[in-house]
Structures are given as structure tokens and as C-alpha cells.
Amino acid sequence: MPHLYSVTFKFNLPIRPNKTVEVTGENKEEVLENAHVAASKRGVIFGEYAYNEKPLSVSLVKENV
């Protein structure tokens, strides 16, 4: 059963604040993949380098959602 995580990325422009997306996943790899997709769709991270972005933090919000 997947868990809900909050993943925070540093925005790629210095004048913008950090951005957080909430995603579900059953393991770390799935959570990070889903977070990168969500962040890319919301304009948090851009382009071919998006998947190389390391999030600033990953925290569990709720188990078994």
C-alpha cells in the first residue's frame, strides 16, 4: 500500500522560493520518480536536468493512503 510523502525541491531560479509537492509511492525510488514528474509538470524544475535534481527533503506525511 502506498504512503504519502512531501518532497521539497530548490527552485532553479534564486528569486523563487523552494517548492514542495506531495506524492504517493511504495518505496524511495517510486516516490522520487513521482516527485520529479509532479515537479516538472508544475514548473518547479525544468528540462533534461530535472531528473538529476536532488530534493532538499523527503518526509512521510501519511502511511497507507
Residue 20 pLDDT: 87
Please give the Cα distance from 18 to 22 (Å, whole number).
Answer: 14
The share of the chain scoring above pLDDT 70, in percent, equals 74
Angstrom CA distances, 64 to 31, 35, 57, stand at 14, 18, 20
pTM listed for this prediction: 0.76
- How far apart are the C-alpha atoms of 41 and 45, rounded to whole Å? 8
Instruction: Specify the CATH number of the domain 3-62.
Output: 3.10.20
Lowest average pLDDT, out of 8-12, 20-24, 29-33, 57-61, goes to: 8-12
Is pLDDT of 47 > 60?
Answer: no
Integer Cα distance of 6 and 48 in angstroms: 23
7-25: per-residue pLDDT in tens?
Answer: 988 766 667 677 888 999 9
